[in-house]
Copies of this chain bind each other. A is one copy, B any other.
């Protein structure tokens, strides 16, 4: 999968690219079949909604789930990012966000790179966000909202919101959002399960709560150019990874066939990955 000049131009302008139905229903089923057992685990990688026991986000499944370990090496996702950065990439962050029926809470307006710069000392915004839909995303189940073009303005001031949801987040103030939306509008890509979005790590985004009876589970992967690896290990490793080895892609059929990949945290998270090391 190569990005065309037109796609590259669109990415520069809007800050994201949408690929409806990039993965087949059969491929996605391999992943969705695995999610309930991941969410049921009592491990620090599962962050639950403040309303109760429903999982808001699961971290680092590629380290302990075989199907997600294969997804993390999928060429349809990795190759265009390598081409865009002109170098190898490593996995900086790996999340399966629940946004579950009835309980899925908001994600406030934020940029990802702000956190990576401030907390992780990632030198530049040379890391790409990827969203892969494990459920259909529609207007009712809290789709991701982007402010097109907002990535062009670099890192914005943010405040640490530790009260709105169960997950502390550096959020951007309303007056800034108002100006950005006046400039670029708002979009919310919607589509069937198996769709993928690539979006710039400075693109401002948010999502509302999910009051619908439909889960909106998505995988969010953040791939960083190897030379741009983080310099500080303040956050636990299961949130901000410290292994900067270049991702080696598996073949295109990897979700449907058996391939040899490591799942080193299968038996539990190593103690070193749970603590700050910087």
Pick the residue among B102, B186, B209 that contacts A209 (CB under 8 A).
B209
Residues in B with CB closer than 8 Å to A206 are 211
B-binding segment of A5-13, A79-87, A124-132, A174-182:
A174-182
Q: Are B140 and A188 in contact (CB under 8 A)?
A: yes
Residues in B with CB closer than 8 Å to A211 are 106, 108-109, 145, 206-208
Q: Are A188 and B139 in contact (CB under 8 A)?
A: yes
The binding surface of chain A is classed by DSSP as loop
Chain B proximity of A152: nearest CB distance (Å):
19
This chain: copies in complex = 2
Q: Smallest CB-CB separation from A164: which chain B residue? A: B51
The digit string for A138-167, where 1 denotes a CB below 8 A from any CB of B, is 011010010000000000000000000000
Q: Smallest CB-CB separation from A206: which chain B residue? A: B211
Please name 26 pairs of A and B residues whose Cβ atoms are closer than 8 Å in the assembled complex, sorted by A.
A101-B178, A102-B174, A102-B177, A106-B209, A108-B211, A109-B211, A139-B139, A139-B188, A140-B145, A140-B186, A140-B188, A145-B211, A145-B212, A174-B213, A178-B213, A181-B212, A181-B213, A182-B213, A186-B212, A206-B211, A207-B211, A208-B208, A208-B209, A208-B210, A208-B211, A209-B209
